[in-house]
Chains A and B, each alone.
Chain A
Amino acid sequence: MSYTRREMMAIAAGRLIRDGDVVFAGTGLPLLAATVAKKIHAPRCVIFFETGAIDSALPELPLYVADSRVMYGASINAGLLEAFSILSSPKLRTIALLGAAQVDKYGNLNSTCIGDYHKPSRRLPGSGGACDGASLAWGFIVFIPHERRRFVEKLDYLTSPGWINGGNSRREAGLPRGGPIAVVTDLGILKFDEETREMYLAEYYPSVTPRQIQENTGFELDVSRAFEAQPPGERELKILREEVDPQGLIR
Protein backbone atom coordinates (compact mmCIF):
# COMPACT_ATOMS: atom_id res chain seq x y z
CA MET A 1 0.00 0.00 0.00
CA SER A 2 1.53 3.34 -0.97
CA TYR A 3 1.44 6.27 1.44
CA THR A 4 2.49 9.90 1.65
CA ARG A 5 5.22 11.31 3.89
CA ARG A 6 2.61 13.16 5.94
CA GLU A 7 0.79 9.90 6.55
CA MET A 8 4.06 8.31 7.61
CA MET A 9 4.64 11.24 10.01
CA ALA A 10 1.21 10.95 11.62
CA ILE A 11 1.54 7.20 12.04
CA ALA A 12 5.15 7.28 13.25
CA ALA A 13 4.28 9.92 15.84
CA GLY A 14 1.17 8.02 16.87
CA ARG A 15 3.34 5.03 17.75
CA LEU A 16 5.16 7.18 20.32
CA ILE A 17 1.94 7.67 22.29
CA ARG A 18 1.27 5.11 25.03
CA ASP A 19 -2.05 3.79 26.21
CA GLY A 20 -3.27 6.01 29.04
CA ASP A 21 -1.29 9.09 27.97
CA VAL A 22 -3.04 12.42 28.37
CA VAL A 23 -2.34 14.21 25.11
CA PHE A 24 -2.25 18.00 24.71
CA ALA A 25 -2.83 18.34 21.00
CA GLY A 26 -2.65 21.08 18.46
CA THR A 27 -4.66 20.69 15.26
CA GLY A 28 -3.19 19.42 12.01
CA LEU A 29 -0.74 16.52 12.00
CA PRO A 30 -0.46 16.31 15.82
CA LEU A 31 -4.17 15.68 16.10
CA LEU A 32 -4.07 13.05 13.35
CA ALA A 33 -1.27 11.27 15.20
CA ALA A 34 -3.15 11.28 18.50
CA THR A 35 -6.41 10.13 16.94
CA VAL A 36 -4.76 7.31 15.02
CA ALA A 37 -3.01 6.17 18.21
CA LYS A 38 -6.28 6.23 20.14
CA LYS A 39 -8.02 4.14 17.49
CA ILE A 40 -5.24 1.59 17.15
CA HIS A 41 -3.06 0.85 20.15
CA ALA A 42 -3.90 3.41 22.83
CA PRO A 43 -7.68 3.31 23.37
CA ARG A 44 -7.37 4.76 26.86
CA CYS A 45 -5.36 7.77 25.76
CA VAL A 46 -7.17 11.04 26.37
CA ILE A 47 -6.98 14.02 24.04
CA PHE A 48 -7.42 17.52 25.38
CA PHE A 49 -6.97 21.04 24.08
CA GLU A 50 -5.53 24.22 25.54
CA THR A 51 -8.88 25.90 24.92
CA GLY A 52 -10.37 23.83 27.76
CA ALA A 53 -11.99 20.88 25.95
CA ILE A 54 -11.10 17.79 27.97
CA ASP A 55 -11.37 14.25 26.56
CA SER A 56 -12.99 15.42 23.35
CA ALA A 57 -15.08 12.89 21.42
CA LEU A 58 -14.11 14.43 18.04
CA PRO A 59 -17.04 13.33 15.88
CA GLU A 60 -15.35 15.32 13.08
CA LEU A 61 -11.77 16.49 12.65
CA PRO A 62 -11.26 19.99 14.14
CA LEU A 63 -9.25 22.50 12.09
CA TYR A 64 -8.28 24.79 14.98
CA VAL A 65 -8.07 24.20 18.73
CA ALA A 66 -11.12 26.40 19.38
CA ASP A 67 -13.17 24.58 16.70
CA SER A 68 -16.65 23.71 18.03
CA ARG A 69 -15.76 20.15 16.99
CA VAL A 70 -13.59 19.81 20.10
CA MET A 71 -16.59 20.67 22.31
CA TYR A 72 -19.40 18.23 21.57
CA GLY A 73 -19.14 15.04 23.60
CA ALA A 74 -16.15 16.22 25.69
CA SER A 75 -16.09 15.21 29.34
CA ILE A 76 -15.94 18.88 30.24
CA ASN A 77 -15.93 22.11 28.34
CA ALA A 78 -13.96 24.42 30.55
CA GLY A 79 -11.46 27.14 29.75
CA LEU A 80 -7.74 27.74 29.40
CA LEU A 81 -6.96 27.73 33.12
CA GLU A 82 -8.45 24.27 33.56
CA ALA A 83 -6.59 22.93 30.53
CA PHE A 84 -3.26 24.25 31.83
CA SER A 85 -3.87 22.81 35.30
CA ILE A 86 -4.29 19.38 33.70
CA LEU A 87 -1.21 19.91 31.53
CA SER A 88 0.97 20.49 34.59
CA SER A 89 -0.62 17.87 36.87
CA PRO A 90 2.17 15.78 38.44
CA LYS A 91 -0.01 12.67 38.54
CA LEU A 92 -0.46 12.50 34.76
CA ARG A 93 1.80 11.50 31.90
CA THR A 94 0.86 14.48 29.77
CA ILE A 95 2.33 14.60 26.29
CA ALA A 96 2.24 17.83 24.30
CA LEU A 97 2.29 17.55 20.51
CA LEU A 98 3.76 20.73 19.05
CA GLY A 99 4.58 22.19 15.66
CA ALA A 100 7.25 24.85 15.08
CA ALA A 101 9.02 26.87 12.40
CA GLN A 102 12.53 26.17 13.74
CA VAL A 103 14.12 23.64 16.07
CA ASP A 104 17.69 23.51 17.42
CA LYS A 105 19.77 20.50 18.50
CA TYR A 106 18.38 20.65 22.06
CA GLY A 107 14.77 20.59 20.88
CA ASN A 108 14.08 24.26 21.67
CA LEU A 109 11.42 25.67 19.35
CA ASN A 110 10.68 28.91 17.54
CA SER A 111 7.17 29.80 16.44
CA THR A 112 7.41 33.58 16.93
CA CYS A 113 9.47 35.18 14.15
CA ILE A 114 12.16 34.84 11.49
CA GLY A 115 14.91 37.44 11.84
CA ASP A 116 15.35 39.89 14.70
CA TYR A 117 12.45 39.94 17.18
CA HIS A 118 12.12 43.71 16.98
CA LYS A 119 12.42 43.89 13.19
CA PRO A 120 11.34 40.48 11.93
CA SER A 121 11.53 39.62 8.25
CA ARG A 122 8.65 37.24 8.85
CA ARG A 123 6.30 37.39 11.80
CA LEU A 124 4.80 34.03 12.82
CA PRO A 125 1.79 33.41 15.08
CA GLY A 126 3.66 33.29 18.40
CA SER A 127 3.57 30.85 21.27
CA GLY A 128 -0.12 30.25 21.82
CA GLY A 129 0.03 27.31 24.21
CA ALA A 130 3.23 25.86 22.72
CA CYS A 131 5.57 27.41 25.30
CA ASP A 132 3.25 26.12 28.02
CA GLY A 133 3.13 22.60 26.60
CA ALA A 134 6.92 22.58 26.30
CA SER A 135 7.42 24.04 29.79
CA LEU A 136 4.92 22.04 31.80
CA ALA A 137 3.97 18.73 30.16
CA TRP A 138 5.54 15.43 31.22
CA GLY A 139 7.15 15.44 27.79
CA PHE A 140 6.60 16.77 24.29
CA ILE A 141 6.86 15.64 20.69
CA VAL A 142 7.70 18.06 17.87
CA PHE A 143 6.32 17.95 14.31
CA ILE A 144 8.37 19.78 11.71
CA PRO A 145 9.29 19.42 8.03
CA HIS A 146 12.92 18.33 7.70
CA GLU A 147 14.67 21.29 6.07
CA ARG A 148 18.03 22.95 6.71
CA ARG A 149 16.45 26.35 7.31
CA ARG A 150 14.31 24.80 10.06
CA PHE A 151 16.95 22.62 11.78
CA VAL A 152 19.20 25.47 12.85
CA GLU A 153 22.27 25.93 15.02
CA LYS A 154 20.70 28.98 16.65
CA LEU A 155 17.00 29.84 16.78
CA ASP A 156 15.89 33.33 15.76
CA TYR A 157 13.70 33.32 18.88
CA LEU A 158 13.30 30.70 21.59
CA THR A 159 9.53 30.42 22.06
CA SER A 160 9.24 26.99 23.68
CA PRO A 161 11.89 25.46 25.94
CA GLY A 162 13.44 22.11 25.06
CA TRP A 163 16.62 20.93 26.78
CA ILE A 164 17.77 24.61 26.66
CA ASN A 165 21.60 24.25 26.46
CA GLY A 166 21.72 20.51 27.12
CA GLY A 167 22.85 18.61 30.22
CA ASN A 168 21.02 19.85 33.33
CA SER A 169 20.31 23.31 31.96
CA ARG A 170 16.54 22.79 31.71
CA ARG A 171 16.27 21.96 35.39
CA GLU A 172 18.61 24.83 36.25
CA ALA A 173 16.41 27.23 34.29
CA GLY A 174 13.58 26.37 36.69
CA LEU A 175 11.72 23.64 34.80
CA PRO A 176 11.79 20.56 37.02
CA ARG A 177 10.09 18.17 34.64
CA GLY A 178 9.36 17.64 30.97
CA GLY A 179 11.45 18.20 27.89
CA PRO A 180 11.33 16.99 24.28
CA ILE A 181 11.01 13.25 23.74
CA ALA A 182 11.18 13.13 19.96
CA VAL A 183 11.12 15.20 16.78
CA VAL A 184 9.02 13.72 14.00
CA THR A 185 9.77 14.95 10.49
CA ASP A 186 8.91 13.94 6.95
CA LEU A 187 12.23 12.06 6.77
CA GLY A 188 12.56 10.33 10.13
CA ILE A 189 12.43 10.43 13.90
CA LEU A 190 15.02 12.13 16.08
CA LYS A 191 15.51 11.64 19.81
CA PHE A 192 17.74 13.13 22.51
CA ASP A 193 20.78 11.68 24.26
CA GLU A 194 20.06 10.91 27.93
CA GLU A 195 23.14 12.81 29.14
CA THR A 196 24.11 15.50 26.69
CA ARG A 197 20.47 16.03 25.61
CA GLU A 198 21.69 16.51 22.05
CA MET A 199 19.50 15.41 19.19
CA TYR A 200 20.39 12.18 17.36
CA LEU A 201 18.81 10.31 14.48
CA ALA A 202 16.75 7.40 15.83
CA GLU A 203 14.83 6.23 12.76
CA TYR A 204 14.78 7.02 9.04
CA TYR A 205 11.77 6.24 6.88
CA PRO A 206 11.93 3.60 4.13
CA SER A 207 13.54 5.09 0.97
CA VAL A 208 15.27 7.82 3.02
CA THR A 209 18.97 7.61 3.94
CA PRO A 210 20.71 8.93 7.08
CA ARG A 211 22.96 10.94 4.79
CA GLN A 212 19.98 12.66 3.22
CA ILE A 213 18.78 13.56 6.71
CA GLN A 214 22.18 14.98 7.68
CA GLU A 215 22.16 17.08 4.50
CA ASN A 216 18.82 18.54 5.52
CA THR A 217 19.94 19.35 9.05
CA GLY A 218 21.76 22.61 9.83
CA PHE A 219 23.92 21.07 12.58
CA GLU A 220 26.00 17.95 13.10
CA LEU A 221 23.81 14.93 13.78
CA ASP A 222 24.79 11.60 15.35
CA VAL A 223 23.38 8.99 12.94
CA SER A 224 25.22 5.98 14.41
CA ARG A 225 22.19 4.73 16.38
CA ALA A 226 19.68 5.01 13.51
CA PHE A 227 17.62 2.20 12.04
CA GLU A 228 14.95 2.03 9.35
CA ALA A 229 11.40 2.79 10.52
CA GLN A 230 8.53 0.34 10.09
CA PRO A 231 6.37 1.54 7.17
CA PRO A 232 2.71 2.26 7.98
CA GLY A 233 0.58 -0.88 8.17
CA GLU A 234 -2.53 -1.37 6.11
CA ARG A 235 -4.78 -1.07 9.13
CA GLU A 236 -3.10 2.16 10.25
CA LEU A 237 -3.55 3.71 6.81
CA LYS A 238 -7.12 2.54 6.51
CA ILE A 239 -8.09 4.05 9.85
CA LEU A 240 -6.27 7.29 9.08
CA ARG A 241 -7.93 7.68 5.67
CA GLU A 242 -11.39 6.35 6.31
CA GLU A 243 -12.12 7.18 9.93
CA VAL A 244 -9.87 10.02 11.03
CA ASP A 245 -9.63 12.29 7.99
CA PRO A 246 -12.13 11.17 5.36
CA GLN A 247 -12.29 14.66 3.75
CA GLY A 248 -8.50 14.69 3.34
CA LEU A 249 -8.30 18.02 5.18
CA ILE A 250 -4.90 17.42 6.73
CA ARG A 251 -3.29 14.61 4.73
Chain B
Amino acid sequence: MTLKEAVKKHVPDGAHIALGGFTANRNPMAAIYEIIRQRVRNLHLYVHSHGQAMDLLIGAGCVKRIELAYGALGRYAPTCPRFRLAVERGEVEWEDYSNYQMVLRFLAGALDIPFIPTRTGLGTDIAAKEGLRPETRRESKVARRKLLVAEDPFNGGKVLLLPAIKPDVTIIHAQYVGEKGTVRVKGLKFADVEMAKASRHLIVTCEEIVSEEKLRHEPELNCLPGFLVDAVVEVPFGAHPTACYGFYDVDAKHLYMYYDSALSDESFQKYLEEWVYGVSCHEEYLRKVGEERLKEITATQPYGFRLGLDRRRPK
Protein backbone atom coordinates (compact mmCIF):
# COMPACT_ATOMS: atom_id res chain seq x y z
CA MET B 1 0.00 0.00 0.00
CA THR B 2 1.22 3.52 -0.69
CA LEU B 3 1.10 6.23 1.95
CA LYS B 4 -1.59 8.03 -0.08
CA GLU B 5 -3.77 4.92 -0.08
CA ALA B 6 -3.17 4.19 3.61
CA VAL B 7 -4.19 7.71 4.63
CA LYS B 8 -7.19 7.74 2.26
CA LYS B 9 -8.43 4.44 3.65
CA HIS B 10 -7.81 4.89 7.38
CA VAL B 11 -7.89 8.63 8.13
CA PRO B 12 -11.32 10.00 7.18
CA ASP B 13 -12.68 13.40 8.22
CA GLY B 14 -13.56 13.42 11.91
CA ALA B 15 -11.42 10.41 12.81
CA HIS B 16 -10.15 10.01 16.36
CA ILE B 17 -6.41 9.67 15.85
CA ALA B 18 -3.37 8.99 18.07
CA LEU B 19 0.19 9.83 17.07
CA GLY B 20 3.34 7.94 18.04
CA GLY B 21 6.70 9.45 18.85
CA PHE B 22 7.49 12.16 21.39
CA THR B 23 8.12 15.91 20.89
CA ALA B 24 10.93 15.85 18.28
CA ASN B 25 11.60 12.11 18.00
CA ARG B 26 10.02 9.52 15.71
CA ASN B 27 7.02 11.63 14.73
CA PRO B 28 5.24 10.02 11.77
CA MET B 29 5.92 13.12 9.68
CA ALA B 30 5.55 11.64 6.19
CA ALA B 31 2.05 10.46 7.09
CA ILE B 32 1.23 13.85 8.61
CA TYR B 33 2.28 15.69 5.43
CA GLU B 34 0.05 13.32 3.45
CA ILE B 35 -2.93 13.92 5.77
CA ILE B 36 -2.45 17.66 5.27
CA ARG B 37 -2.19 17.26 1.48
CA GLN B 38 -5.42 15.27 1.47
CA ARG B 39 -7.02 18.11 3.45
CA VAL B 40 -8.53 15.86 6.09
CA ARG B 41 -10.63 17.89 8.54
CA ASN B 42 -12.09 17.76 12.07
CA LEU B 43 -9.65 15.27 13.55
CA HIS B 44 -9.90 14.47 17.26
CA LEU B 45 -6.29 14.12 18.30
CA TYR B 46 -4.78 12.16 21.22
CA VAL B 47 -1.13 12.69 22.17
CA HIS B 48 1.00 12.66 25.32
CA SER B 49 3.94 14.98 24.60
CA HIS B 50 3.93 16.24 21.06
CA GLY B 51 5.35 17.45 18.80
CA GLN B 52 6.17 18.60 15.36
CA ALA B 53 3.46 16.38 13.90
CA MET B 54 0.77 17.78 16.17
CA ASP B 55 1.77 21.37 15.49
CA LEU B 56 1.64 20.98 11.71
CA LEU B 57 -1.71 19.19 11.77
CA ILE B 58 -3.20 21.94 13.91
CA GLY B 59 -1.65 24.72 11.86
CA ALA B 60 -2.94 23.21 8.61
CA GLY B 61 -6.48 23.24 9.97
CA CYS B 62 -6.93 19.47 10.18
CA VAL B 63 -7.69 19.35 13.91
CA LYS B 64 -10.90 20.12 15.74
CA ARG B 65 -9.95 18.88 19.22
CA ILE B 66 -6.85 17.81 21.12
CA GLU B 67 -6.43 15.79 24.27
CA LEU B 68 -2.82 16.22 25.27
CA ALA B 69 -0.22 16.47 28.00
CA TYR B 70 2.33 18.76 26.38
CA GLY B 71 2.97 20.79 23.25
CA ALA B 72 6.64 21.75 22.82
CA LEU B 73 9.98 20.52 21.45
CA GLY B 74 12.34 21.30 24.32
CA ARG B 75 15.06 23.59 23.06
CA TYR B 76 13.67 23.59 19.52
CA ALA B 77 10.29 25.07 20.49
CA PRO B 78 9.50 26.28 24.04
CA THR B 79 5.81 25.93 23.06
CA CYS B 80 4.61 24.58 19.71
CA PRO B 81 3.60 27.82 17.96
CA ARG B 82 0.55 26.73 15.94
CA PHE B 83 -0.83 24.82 18.91
CA ARG B 84 -0.35 27.88 21.12
CA LEU B 85 -2.04 30.25 18.67
CA ALA B 86 -4.94 27.86 17.98
CA VAL B 87 -5.65 27.64 21.71
CA GLU B 88 -5.26 31.37 22.34
CA ARG B 89 -7.66 32.12 19.48
CA GLY B 90 -10.11 29.40 20.48
CA GLU B 91 -9.80 27.70 17.09
CA VAL B 92 -9.63 24.22 18.62
CA GLU B 93 -11.03 22.56 21.72
CA TRP B 94 -8.46 21.16 24.14
CA GLU B 95 -8.23 19.01 27.22
CA ASP B 96 -5.13 18.80 29.42
CA TYR B 97 -3.81 15.68 31.13
CA SER B 98 -0.34 14.67 32.33
CA ASN B 99 1.94 12.33 30.41
CA TYR B 100 1.41 9.48 32.82
CA GLN B 101 -2.33 9.99 32.67
CA MET B 102 -2.36 9.88 28.87
CA VAL B 103 -0.29 6.70 28.79
CA LEU B 104 -2.56 5.07 31.38
CA ARG B 105 -5.54 5.99 29.22
CA PHE B 106 -3.94 4.35 26.17
CA LEU B 107 -3.12 1.31 28.30
CA ALA B 108 -6.74 1.09 29.48
CA GLY B 109 -7.82 1.27 25.84
CA ALA B 110 -5.39 -1.50 24.92
CA LEU B 111 -6.68 -3.72 27.75
CA ASP B 112 -10.29 -2.84 26.91
CA ILE B 113 -11.03 -1.71 30.45
CA PRO B 114 -13.32 1.34 30.64
CA PHE B 115 -11.22 3.42 33.04
CA ILE B 116 -8.06 3.23 35.11
CA PRO B 117 -7.20 4.59 38.58
CA THR B 118 -4.09 6.57 39.55
CA ARG B 119 -2.90 9.09 42.12
CA THR B 120 -1.04 11.38 39.77
CA GLY B 121 -2.70 14.78 39.43
CA LEU B 122 -4.81 14.71 42.61
CA GLY B 123 -5.19 18.22 44.01
CA THR B 124 -4.43 19.96 40.70
CA ASP B 125 -6.39 21.97 38.14
CA ILE B 126 -5.92 19.05 35.75
CA ALA B 127 -8.39 17.29 38.06
CA ALA B 128 -10.53 20.41 38.65
CA LYS B 129 -10.95 22.00 35.21
CA GLU B 130 -12.61 20.60 32.08
CA GLY B 131 -11.70 21.86 28.64
CA LEU B 132 -14.02 20.11 26.16
CA ARG B 133 -17.51 21.57 25.71
CA PRO B 134 -20.55 19.84 27.24
CA GLU B 135 -21.98 19.15 23.77
CA THR B 136 -18.71 17.48 22.75
CA ARG B 137 -18.96 15.26 25.81
CA ARG B 138 -22.32 13.98 24.53
CA GLU B 139 -20.75 12.49 21.38
CA SER B 140 -20.61 8.69 21.37
CA LYS B 141 -16.84 8.38 20.91
CA VAL B 142 -16.04 10.93 23.64
CA ALA B 143 -16.00 9.99 27.35
CA ARG B 144 -18.84 11.65 29.31
CA ARG B 145 -16.40 13.43 31.60
CA LYS B 146 -12.70 14.26 31.69
CA LEU B 147 -11.96 12.27 34.86
CA LEU B 148 -13.37 11.58 38.29
CA VAL B 149 -11.87 11.89 41.77
CA ALA B 150 -13.34 8.97 43.73
CA GLU B 151 -12.94 6.99 46.93
CA ASP B 152 -10.56 4.01 46.68
CA PRO B 153 -13.01 1.14 47.39
CA PHE B 154 -10.27 -1.19 48.65
CA ASN B 155 -7.99 0.93 50.79
CA GLY B 156 -9.86 4.16 51.42
CA GLY B 157 -8.40 7.53 50.44
CA LYS B 158 -8.72 9.23 47.08
CA VAL B 159 -8.02 8.02 43.57
CA LEU B 160 -8.35 9.67 40.22
CA LEU B 161 -10.22 7.66 37.55
CA LEU B 162 -9.30 8.22 33.92
CA PRO B 163 -11.37 7.16 30.90
CA ALA B 164 -9.78 4.78 28.38
CA ILE B 165 -8.82 6.02 24.92
CA LYS B 166 -9.78 3.93 21.89
CA PRO B 167 -8.67 5.79 18.77
CA ASP B 168 -10.06 4.96 15.34
CA VAL B 169 -6.54 5.01 14.00
CA THR B 170 -2.99 5.26 15.34
CA ILE B 171 0.03 6.17 13.24
CA ILE B 172 3.54 5.32 14.36
CA HIS B 173 6.93 5.46 12.68
CA ALA B 174 9.27 2.52 13.34
CA GLN B 175 12.79 1.67 12.25
CA TYR B 176 11.97 -1.80 10.90
CA VAL B 177 8.93 -3.74 9.81
CA GLY B 178 9.09 -7.34 8.54
CA GLU B 179 7.49 -8.42 5.27
CA LYS B 180 4.63 -9.88 7.32
CA GLY B 181 4.20 -6.80 9.45
CA THR B 182 6.20 -7.53 12.61
CA VAL B 183 7.26 -4.17 14.03
CA ARG B 184 10.61 -3.35 15.65
CA VAL B 185 11.16 0.01 17.29
CA LYS B 186 14.74 0.73 18.28
CA GLY B 187 15.56 2.97 21.22
CA LEU B 188 12.74 4.38 23.30
CA LYS B 189 9.23 3.09 22.56
CA PHE B 190 7.53 6.06 24.30
CA ALA B 191 3.86 4.96 24.40
CA ASP B 192 3.69 3.71 20.82
CA VAL B 193 2.87 0.13 21.78
CA GLU B 194 0.02 1.06 24.13
CA MET B 195 -1.59 3.45 21.64
CA ALA B 196 -1.14 0.98 18.78
CA LYS B 197 -2.92 -1.75 20.74
CA ALA B 198 -5.71 0.60 21.87
CA SER B 199 -6.53 1.55 18.31
CA ARG B 200 -9.03 0.05 15.85
CA HIS B 201 -6.66 0.64 12.95
CA LEU B 202 -2.90 0.96 12.85
CA ILE B 203 -0.68 2.53 10.20
CA VAL B 204 3.05 1.91 10.57
CA THR B 205 5.54 3.81 8.47
CA CYS B 206 9.13 2.62 8.68
CA GLU B 207 12.67 3.31 7.61
CA GLU B 208 13.13 -0.19 6.18
CA ILE B 209 11.02 -3.19 5.35
CA VAL B 210 13.24 -6.17 6.15
CA SER B 211 12.95 -9.92 6.01
CA GLU B 212 10.53 -11.33 8.51
CA GLU B 213 12.99 -14.11 9.26
CA LYS B 214 15.63 -11.65 10.37
CA LEU B 215 13.23 -10.01 12.87
CA ARG B 216 12.03 -13.38 14.17
CA HIS B 217 15.58 -14.41 14.93
CA GLU B 218 15.37 -12.11 17.99
CA PRO B 219 11.64 -11.74 18.71
CA GLU B 220 12.28 -10.18 22.13
CA LEU B 221 13.40 -7.04 20.29
CA ASN B 222 10.08 -6.73 18.43
CA CYS B 223 7.15 -4.82 19.84
CA LEU B 224 4.04 -5.48 17.71
CA PRO B 225 2.86 -8.52 15.78
CA GLY B 226 1.92 -8.10 12.12
CA PHE B 227 -1.73 -9.07 12.60
CA LEU B 228 -2.35 -5.82 14.51
CA VAL B 229 -1.06 -3.72 11.63
CA ASP B 230 -3.46 -2.53 8.92
CA ALA B 231 -0.99 -0.74 6.67
CA VAL B 232 2.79 -0.72 6.37
CA VAL B 233 4.59 1.84 4.26
CA GLU B 234 8.34 2.07 3.82
CA VAL B 235 9.32 5.75 4.00
CA PRO B 236 13.03 6.42 4.52
CA PHE B 237 13.55 9.60 6.55
CA GLY B 238 9.83 9.36 7.31
CA ALA B 239 10.26 11.16 10.65
CA HIS B 240 12.24 14.12 9.27
CA PRO B 241 12.77 16.80 10.66
CA THR B 242 12.34 14.86 13.93
CA ALA B 243 14.92 12.23 14.90
CA CYS B 244 14.86 8.48 14.33
CA TYR B 245 17.27 6.65 16.65
CA GLY B 246 19.87 4.62 14.81
CA PHE B 247 19.09 6.30 11.47
CA TYR B 248 19.23 10.08 11.77
CA ASP B 249 19.27 12.93 14.24
CA VAL B 250 16.95 15.92 14.42
CA ASP B 251 17.33 18.38 11.60
CA ALA B 252 18.00 21.23 14.03
CA LYS B 253 18.28 23.85 11.28
CA HIS B 254 14.93 22.83 9.81
CA LEU B 255 13.23 22.86 13.23
CA TYR B 256 14.51 26.36 14.03
CA MET B 257 13.42 27.53 10.58
CA TYR B 258 10.00 25.94 11.12
CA TYR B 259 9.61 27.57 14.52
CA ASP B 260 10.33 31.03 13.16
CA SER B 261 7.98 30.48 10.21
CA ALA B 262 5.19 29.18 12.44
CA LEU B 263 5.12 32.34 14.56
CA SER B 264 3.01 34.27 12.04
CA ASP B 265 0.10 33.12 9.88
CA GLU B 266 1.62 34.46 6.72
CA SER B 267 5.02 32.83 7.02
CA PHE B 268 3.43 29.61 8.22
CA GLN B 269 1.27 29.49 5.06
CA LYS B 270 4.43 29.95 3.04
CA TYR B 271 6.05 27.07 4.91
CA LEU B 272 3.05 24.84 4.15
CA GLU B 273 3.06 25.84 0.49
CA GLU B 274 6.73 25.19 0.18
CA TRP B 275 7.22 22.02 2.23
CA VAL B 276 3.85 20.27 2.20
CA TYR B 277 1.47 21.33 -0.59
CA GLY B 278 4.31 22.14 -2.95
CA VAL B 279 5.61 18.57 -2.99
CA SER B 280 3.63 15.55 -4.12
CA CYS B 281 5.21 12.88 -1.93
CA HIS B 282 7.92 12.27 0.66
CA GLU B 283 10.58 11.44 -1.95
CA GLU B 284 10.10 14.83 -3.49
CA TYR B 285 10.19 16.40 -0.02
CA LEU B 286 13.52 14.71 0.67
CA ARG B 287 14.95 15.94 -2.61
CA LYS B 288 14.01 19.41 -1.45
CA VAL B 289 15.68 18.89 1.94
CA GLY B 290 18.74 17.89 -0.04
CA GLU B 291 21.30 15.14 0.17
CA GLU B 292 23.80 17.32 1.94
CA ARG B 293 21.47 18.02 4.88
CA LEU B 294 20.44 14.37 5.11
CA LYS B 295 24.09 13.37 5.24
CA GLU B 296 24.76 15.96 7.91
CA ILE B 297 22.15 14.45 10.25
CA THR B 298 22.77 10.75 9.49
CA ALA B 299 23.42 8.90 12.74
CA THR B 300 26.93 8.04 13.88
CA GLN B 301 27.16 4.35 14.79
CA PRO B 302 26.88 2.92 17.34
CA TYR B 303 25.52 6.07 19.02
CA GLY B 304 22.29 6.29 17.08
CA PHE B 305 22.47 10.10 16.86
CA ARG B 306 24.89 12.40 15.00
CA LEU B 307 27.95 12.95 17.17
CA GLY B 308 28.96 16.58 17.29
CA LEU B 309 25.94 17.82 15.32
CA ASP B 310 25.76 21.60 15.59
CA ARG B 311 22.51 22.15 17.44
CA ARG B 312 22.90 25.85 18.15
CA ARG B 313 20.29 28.25 16.87
CA PRO B 314 21.66 29.88 13.69
CA LYS B 315 22.35 33.55 14.31
Contacts and interface: CB of A to CB of B under 8 A. Distances in A.
B71 to A, nearest CB: 5
Interface size class of B (residues with CB under 8 A): 35 or more
A174 B131 contact: no
Nearest to A127: B98
Contact of B131 (A71, A77, A118): A118
A52 B190 contact: yes
A231 B300 CA distance: 39
Interface stretch (B114-122, B165-173, B272-280): B114-122
Contact of B190 (A28, A51, A118, A127): A51
A67 B26 CA distance: 10
Interface stretch (B6-14, B84-92, B136-144, B211-219): B84-92
A164 B252 CA distance: 39
Nearest to B129: A117
B120 A65 contact: no
Nearest to B72: A125
A174 B193 contact: no
Given A63-B75, A78-B188, A126 B70 contact: yes
Contact of B88 (A66, A121, A125, A136): A121
Interface stretch (A9-17, A153-161, A219-227): A153-161
* B contact patch SS: loop
Contacts of B87: 113, 120, 123
Nearest to A111: B70
B122 A68 contact: no
Contacts of B158: 173-174
Given A60-B307, A80-B190, A131 B71 contact: no
Contacts of B22: 51, 65-66
> Which of A68, A77, A136, A161 is the most central at the interface, judged by chain B CB atoms within 10 Å of its CB?
A68
B194 interface: yes
B314 interface: no
Contact of B69 (A126, A173, A247): A126
Interface in A197-234: none
Contacts of B187: 68, 71, 77
A65 to B, nearest CB: 7
Contact of B24 (A66, A79, A122, A125): A66
A60 B250 CA distance: 14
A68 B48 contact: no
A64 to B, nearest CB: 3
B268 interface: no
Interface stretch (B99-107, B197-205, B257-265, B286-294): B99-107
B153 interface: no
B70 A127 contact: yes
Contacts of B266: none
Nearest to A132: B100
Contact of A173 (B80, B88, B96, B122): B122
A131 B124 contact: yes
A71 B49 contact: no
Contacts of B249: 68
Interface string A87-124: 01000000000000000000000001100011111111
B99 A170 contact: no
Nearest to A170: B123
Contact of B123 (A112, A123, A132, A175): A175
Interface string A60-87: 1001111111111000011111001000
B15 interface: no
B64 interface: no
Interface in B289-315: 299, 302-305, 307-308, 310-312
Contact of A112 (B48, B76, B96, B188): B96
Contact of A129 (B68, B99, B194): B99
Contact of A126 (B96, B128, B307, B311): B96
A107 B39 CA distance: 45
B23 interface: yes
A72 B305 contact: yes
A160 B25 CA distance: 25
A68 B25 contact: yes
25 contacts: A52-B188, A53-B188, A60-B308, A66-B22, A66-B23, A66-B188, A68-B187, A68-B243, A68-B305, A72-B303, A77-B187, A77-B189, A79-B191, A80-B103, A80-B191, A81-B104, A112-B125, A120-B88, A125-B72, A126-B71, A127-B97, A131-B121, A131-B126, A158-B125, A175-B123
Given A173-B122, A176-B119, 13 more contacts: A68-B245, A68-B304, A81-B103, A81-B194, A84-B99, A117-B129, A123-B87, A127-B69, A132-B100, A132-B121, A157-B125, A160-B124, A169-B123
Interface of B: 21-26, 48-49, 68-76, 78-80, 83-84, 87-88, 90, 96-101, 103-104, 107, 119-126, 128-129, 131, 149, 157-160, 187-194, 243, 245, 249-250, 299, 302-305, 307-308, 310-312
- A-B pairs, top 6 by smallest CB distance, nearest first, are A64-B74, A174-B158, A173-B123, A128-B70, A63-B75, A66-B22
